């Protein structure tokens, strides 16, 4: 029996005063928070020999260097989002250190019953409506110590609720920034009722390129029957930010989800991304783009869970790695007994731009049904010198040739992304990184 020791900044007293500051919250939510806090106190930190954590070393992570976020007093100057260029938005939200700075929603959408904005505010105003969705526990609050901390102490956050049969033409955008030393425990909840349609663009940023910070968050996407969601998450924090997240989508009968992740920032990221196909004929496409440098460590566990028959899931993750950076991808396709006629695919390609970079790529299948089509693939390698020579024989310099090949490598993911502004924004963000590639990125020989 171990006795929980208080963590400076996250003591029981800190938690109580955190709850006191949120007096408008419904009782059921406060109860949920208390249960999660008790889990947080009792759970151990992930062990080094835990299969899920053995490739990701968090010994340098010390929670006591941070503290539960309080009131935001300063108003930071934030650069405009990368995803919003030339896009007419239906609503906008800006969050900072886990608190909403402002949010807005077009009147026309509000009058249709759409809710969008700070989850903090909307949970106090629409607690009864949202309660059943919270109680589904799409992300398990007791999954691990990080999940428990988040469930107990989340603040700020983003909510989109789209009522039955409502299709939103214009995308909604949420920017979530962290200040130097800041903590962001925000939660994202997207609910599309039957037949609803929406596009959600979310992105993260830091105030300065070397700002430190902590994000411990969750994303829950609930896509009800025949609904259609396109969800984009561009993670662009500074390389001083710790990023721990549990993300899960449920996609019901006839519904579809296109989920695109761009991961450029953070010092260390440990993300669990799960898609559950819960009703027949559901469809999920997952796209991931990563570009790492320095000593960044990005670890993604992806999980495609087929729970119902006739569903399709298609995942493609691509990463390019510079310097001493490292990526870990563990993919799993799980097909339940009931999920006959499943069509599932997963692929991960890694391009190593330095001999000191490292990519671990571990696909996995767990299939209980007998009439399914599941395929997977994984590649890791250096830039192909034969391709470099070919481009050089056409007048490209060596550096230009490498940039060309890297851009082409990512283009294959961009081709799958149907939202033009997102394709452009991700393309430009990658192009800027690629532009910085110099001769050392792939030394000759």
What is the torsion angle, in degrees rounded to the nearest 10, for the CA atoms of residue 288, residue 291, residue 295 and residue 296?
Answer: -30
Q: Does 85 bind another protein (CB under 8 A)?
A: no
Cβ distance to another protein smaller for residue 55 or 398: 398
Q: Does 231 bind another protein (CB under 8 A)?
A: no
Measured between its terminal Cα atoms, the distance across the chain in Å is: 57
Smallest gap, in angstroms, from Cβ of residue 414 to another protein? 8
| Contacts to another protein from residues 353-392, by CB under 8 A | 384-387, 389-392
Cβ distance to another protein smaller for residue 374 or 413: 413
Longest CA pairwise span in the chain (Å): 70
Cβ distance to another protein smaller for residue 4 or 392: 392
Going by C-alpha positions, the residue among 320, 317, 312 that lies closest to residue 383 is: 320
Q: Does 404 bind another protein (CB under 8 A)?
A: yes
Cβ distance to another protein smaller for residue 366 or 384: 384
Residue 318 phi/psi, 5-degree rounding, is -130, 135
Among 2, 23, 27, 444, binds another protein (CB under 8 A): 444
Is the Cβ–Cβ distance between 284 and 312 less than 8 Å? yes
Q: Does 111 bind another protein (CB under 8 A)?
A: no
Q: Which two tokens stand for residue 23?
A: 């007096």
Among 22, 34, 55, 398, binds another protein (CB under 8 A): 398
Residue pointed to by tokens 């109680």: 135
- What is the rounded distance in angstroms from the CA atom of residue 301 to the CA atom of residue 272? 5
* H helical segments located in 328-419: 385-392, 398-414
Other C-beta atoms within 10 Å of 76: how many?
16
Among 73, 77, 210, 395, binds another protein (CB under 8 A): 395
Smallest gap, in angstroms, from Cβ of residue 83 to another protein? 22
Map 256-295 to HEC letters.
Answer: EEEEEEEECCCCEEEEEEEEEECCCCCEEEEEEEEEECCC
Q: How far is CA 67 from CA 108, 114, 185, 193, 353, in A?
A: 40, 34, 11, 37, 37
Total of chain residues touching another protein, rule CB under 8 A: 28
Q: Does 431 bind another protein (CB under 8 A)?
A: no
Smallest gap, in angstroms, from Cβ of residue 291 to another protein? 15
Smallest gap, in angstroms, from Cβ of residue 294 to another protein? 23
Q: Which two tokens stand for residue 170?
A: 């214009």
Smallest gap, in angstroms, from Cβ of residue 260 to another protein? 17
Cβ distance to another protein smaller for residue 375 or 412: 412
Is the Cβ–Cβ distance between 202 and 177 less than 8 Å? no
Smallest gap, in angstroms, from Cβ of residue 437 to another protein? 11
Q: Does 73 bind another protein (CB under 8 A)?
A: no
Among 43, 45, 53, 396, binds another protein (CB under 8 A): 396
Other C-beta atoms within 10 Å of 379: how many?
12
Smallest gap, in angstroms, from Cβ of residue 415 to another protein? 8
DSSP character string of 125-148: HSHHHHHHHHHT-SS-TTSSHHHH
Cβ distance to another protein smaller for residue 259 or 410: 410
Among 16, 408, 420, 428, binds another protein (CB under 8 A): 408
Q: Does 423 bind another protein (CB under 8 A)?
A: no
| Contacts to another protein from residues 127-146, by CB under 8 A | none
Q: Does 410 bind another protein (CB under 8 A)?
A: yes
| Binding span for another protein by CB under 8 A among 41-49, 97-105, 220-228, 398-406 | 398-406
| Binding span for another protein by CB under 8 A among 166-174, 309-317, 333-341, 407-415 | 407-415
Is the Cβ–Cβ distance between 139 and 167 less than 8 Å? no
DSSP structure class, residue 10: B
Angle at 6 between CA 5 and CA 12, to 5 degrees: 130
Q: Does 416 bind another protein (CB under 8 A)?
A: no
| Binding span for another protein by CB under 8 A among 137-145, 148-156, 219-227, 399-407 | 399-407
Is the Cβ–Cβ distance between 410 and 318 less than 8 Å? yes
Helix 27-42 to helix 127-135 angle (10° resolution) is 30
Interface with another protein (CB under 8 A): 384-387, 389-401, 404-405, 407-412, 415, 444-445
């Amino acid at each position: 029996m171990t006795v929980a020791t208080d963590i400076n900044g996250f003591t029981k007293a800190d938690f109580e005063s955190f709850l006191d500051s949120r007096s408008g919250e419904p009782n059921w939510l406060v109860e949920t928070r208390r249960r999660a806090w008790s889990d947080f106190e009792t759970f151990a930190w992930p062990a080094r020999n835990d299969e899920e954590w053995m490739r990701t070393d968090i010994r340098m992570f010390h929670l006591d260097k941070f503290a539960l976020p309080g009131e935001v007093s300063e108003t930071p100057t934030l650069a405009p989002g990368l995803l919003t260029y030339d896009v007419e938005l239906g609503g906008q939200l800006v969050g900072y250190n886990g608190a909403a700075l402002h949010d807005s929603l077009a009147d026309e959408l509000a009058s249709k019953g759409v809710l969008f904005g700070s989850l903090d505010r909307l949970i106090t105003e629409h607690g009864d409506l949202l309660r059943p969705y919270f109680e589904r526990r799409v992300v398990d609050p007791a999954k691990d110590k990080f999940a428990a901390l988040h469930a107990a102490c989340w603040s700020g956050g983003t909510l989109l609720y789209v009522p039955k049969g409502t299709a939103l033409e214009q995308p909604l955008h949420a920017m979530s920034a962290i200040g130097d030393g800041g903590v962001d425990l925000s939660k994202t909840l997207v609910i599309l009722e039957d037949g609803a349609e929406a596009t959600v663009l979310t992105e993260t940023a830091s105030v300065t390129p070397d700002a430190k910070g902590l994000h411990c968050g969750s994303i829950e996407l609930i896509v009800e029957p025949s609904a259609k969601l396109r969800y984009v998450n561009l993670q662009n924090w500074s390389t001083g930010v710790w990023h721990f997240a549990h993300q899960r989508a449920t996609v019901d009968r006839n519904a579809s989800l296109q989920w695109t992740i761009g991961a450029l920032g953070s010092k260390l990221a440990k993300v669990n991304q799960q898609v559950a196909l819960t009703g027949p004929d559901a469809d999920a496409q997952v796209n991931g783009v990563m570009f790492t440098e320095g000593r960044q460590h990005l670890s993604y566990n992806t999980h495609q869970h087929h729970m119902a028959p006739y569903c399709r899931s298609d995942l493609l993750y691509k990463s390019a790695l510079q310097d001493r950076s490292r990526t870990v991808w563990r993919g799993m396709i799980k097909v339940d007994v009931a999920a006959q006629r499943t069509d599932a695919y997963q692929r991960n390609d890694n391009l190593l731009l330095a001999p000191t970079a490292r990519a671990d790529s571990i696909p996995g299948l767990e299939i209980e049904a007998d009439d399914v089509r599941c395929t997977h693939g994984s590649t890791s390698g250096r830039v192909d010198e034969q391709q470099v020579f070919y481009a050089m024989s056409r007048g490209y310099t060596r550096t230009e040739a490498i940039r060309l090949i890297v851009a082409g490598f990512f283009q294959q993911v961009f081709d799958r992304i149907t939202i033009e502004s997102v394709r452009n924004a991700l393309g430009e963000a990658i192009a800027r990184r690629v532009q910085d590639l110099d001769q050392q990125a792939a030394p000759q020989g």
